[in-house]
A and B are shown apart, each in its own frame.
Chain A
Amino acid sequence: MTSFLFGAAGFVLAMAALGLVVILRRPAEVDHMMAAQLLGTAGVAILLLLAAATETPPIVDVALLLALFAAFAAVAFVRSAPDRESEVSKATSDG
């Protein structure tokens, strides 16, 4: 079971690596934004599999934080993409 779970984690890692290579090589910025989404699912799956494989429950907490911060990073990516300045402005005092 341990070897199987490690193998599954390695397989998902390979899939995530392939996905990242594909995403980051494309020129469009909207493609790069998907990297957060990819890590948010694949990364969480890898960590959950590792937690079960090594029987270390605290790794599940790392997966939880990864899920939260991948979502937060995705918001930061979408907000900061160039050419979006018409929608975004500085904070106003009555915001």
Chain B
Amino acid sequence: MNLAFDIFTVSAVSAGALFFLAGTVGLLRFPDSLTRLHALTKVDNLGLGLVVLGLLPQANGLFSALKLVSIWLLVQLSGAIITQLIAGAVRLRGPHG
């Protein structure tokens, strides 16, 4: 059982790290601010979600696991709203403002 958990953790966390890589590549290569913002928020949040998923079997106890999930939810929700705020700033100032 422990081995199955460990394999799950390794694969989920590795997938999450790959998504972080993809997000950074997006930051590097996308042409303007809005697309970069899109890459950063969507992809990095997905990476965080996979990392949290992978860490769930390693948590000791239900309370710790719930804490991990609620942190992910908080980052997800606040990240979505912050992205809208930054996008509003981009709209106001143009993509190179």
Contact = CB atoms under 8 A, between A and B. Distances in A.
Interface string B68-95: 1001001100110111011011101101
Contacts of B86: 30, 33-34, 37, 74, 78
A29 to B, nearest CB: 7
Interface in A1-44: 1, 4-5, 8, 11-12, 15-16, 18-19, 22-23, 27-31, 33-34, 36-38, 40-42, 44
Contacts of A11: 17, 20-21
Nearest to B14: A8
Contacts of A18: 24, 27-28
Nearest to B46: A41
B96 to A, nearest CB: 5
Given A19-B24, A22-B27, A45 B47 contact: yes
A48 B75 contact: no
Interface residues of B, number: 49
B92 A84 contact: yes
How would you classify the secondary structure of chain A's contact residues: helix, strand, loop or mixed?
helix
A8 B13 CA distance: 7
B17 A30 contact: no
Interface residues of A, number: 44
B85 A78 contact: yes
A31 B20 CA distance: 18
Nearest to B37: A34
A75 B51 contact: no
4 closest A-B pairs (Cβ-Cβ)? Answer: A71-B78, A41-B44, A74-B82, A15-B20
18 contacts: A1-B9, A8-B17, A11-B17, A16-B20, A18-B28, A23-B27, A30-B86, A34-B37, A37-B83, A38-B44, A40-B75, A40-B78, A41-B47, A44-B71, A48-B55, A48-B71, A60-B71, A64-B74
